[in-house]
Structure 1
Amino acid sequence: MPTSKMLIVTLVATLACLALFALWPDLDLLAARFFYDAGHFVGRGPAGEIGRRFFYDAPYVLLALLLVAYVAHRFGCSRRGPDGRAVIFLLASLALGPGLLVNGLLKEVSHRPRPEQTLEFGGSWRFRPYETFDGECRRNCSFVSGEVATSAWTLAPALLAPPPLRALAVGAALVFTATTAALRMAFGGHYLSDTVFAALFTFLIILILHRWYLRGLSEP
């Protein structure tokens, strides 16, 4: 699917989800209860911690490998590797999406308590819908998920994959993002809407920047 169509689909999905979770905020509670049993969230434990570490580190390892490939290509040590424009695209999408928008802005101003902090799941704070921004959390709050946003960033290198592999790479990025989202919910760290919007917002930034990247390839 061309980037322009992917951008339109993602924008429509974002608007639809904004309306869905605003009209039906209890959907977040219903989804969170799926991961809550016998007074605790099911993801807590050694296996969950190992999984969380892997999904947290993997995007940064991927970026590091791509940067090494760029240097090797730049200095003639390898025939293949991203060019300078691709590196700018990768770094800018990571910085503007997971970095600035998610961790720098939304998580600091949303004030939304995490599931494990709310009364419904053994905490002491009120559940707040995503759009209210009036919760009791003061910093590093639930809306949106930083780890899911970073996992969603893997769409950026997937879009740079050669055409025969691009669809597979994009599919892998989506599965990777969805798995991270499920794990964060299983930890009680985020609601469903936190993970959905983290992914969608990051995808939008990536797709906008990818259009910039493609325009540069078409210039003489």
Structure 2
Amino acid sequence: MTRNILIALLVGTVYCFAIFALWPGLDLGLASLFYRSGHFIGRGEVGDHFRRIFYDAPFFLLGALLLAAIAKWTGRAERGPSGRAVAFLLVTLALGPGLLVNGVLKEISHRPRPEQTQDFGGPWRFQPYDSFAGQCRSNCSFVSGEAATAAWTLAPALLVPPPGRPFAVAAALLFTLATGALRMSFGGHYLSDVTFAALFTFIIVLVFYCWYRRQEKPEE
């Protein structure tokens, strides 16, 4: 079933490539919904508070799981993530949000963020996701680092035992959706930025989850 979902994600990603390439105005149209009276509606004390929570939550989750693993390895607890589970979590976080998103795409895409474009009071012209010809030079809009990190929470969700796994996966998906919407409300990213950040991360997580399941099947 995991492989079928992975195939569906790959097909969906191809469709999204085509949709946002053929209709780049979707990004501008949806970004404009968050722009009112000369500013993006997410900006402010409340928005900053929620952004801090959303930013920190995946790392707190990872820290808690690492502590649980250490407690198991040192004999202080009977249950906790295995070494292979910890490797799965760390590798997917490093390769998805870490290397692919923040290390590569955000540095080479040159796409200005919505708040940096002329359509929303900024100095630069709008660029579609596939242009790579924008004026941004570092930490650019494509793709969203925070949406990718939120999408990574699918990895720990998949480690939850089967009775609770569907609820954990649903929570991870809702958290990703909320993080993406929050970043759009800040004028920090377009819909294509958060969509591809999530899709790329989900694909990486599922690829390594297939590896994890092959090795850990006797324990489940």
Q: Quickly name the TM-score band, shorter chain normalised.
A: over 0.9
> Map of 1:103-118 to 2, 5 A cutoff?
103-118=102-117
Per-residue deviation at 1:216? 1.1
SS of equivalent residue, structure 2 residue 163: helix
Aligned to 1:83: 82
> Map of 1:37-186 to 2, 5 A cutoff?
37-186=36-185
Structure 1 gaps of 5+ residues are none
Aligned to 1:208: 207
SS of equivalent residue, structure 2 residue 110: coil
Tell me the distance in 2 between the aligned counterparts of 1:111 and 1:82. Answer: 39
Query: For residue 105 of structure 2, what is the amino acid of its counterpart?
Result: L
Aligned CA RMSD, in angstroms, stands at 1.1
Per-residue deviation at 1:10? 1.1
Aligned to 2:20: 21
Tell me the distance in 2 between the aligned counterparts of 1:212 and 1:126. Answer: 43
Output the TM-score relative to the length of structure 1: 0.98
Aligned to 1:10: 9
Deviations 1:13-59 (A, max 9, x none): 11111110001000000110010001100000000000000000000
Per-residue deviation at 1:80? 1.3
Query: For residue 192 of structure 2, what is the amino acid of its counterpart?
Result: S
Per-residue deviation at 1:218? 4.2
Number of residue pairs the alignment of both structures matches: 219
- Deviation above 4 Å: which 4+ runs of structure 1? none
SS of equivalent residue, structure 1 residue 200: helix
Query: For residue 23 of structure 1, what is the amino acid of its counterpart?
Result: L
Tell me the distance in 1 between the aligned counterparts of 2:188 and 2:162. Answer: 36
Per-residue deviation at 1:150? 0.4
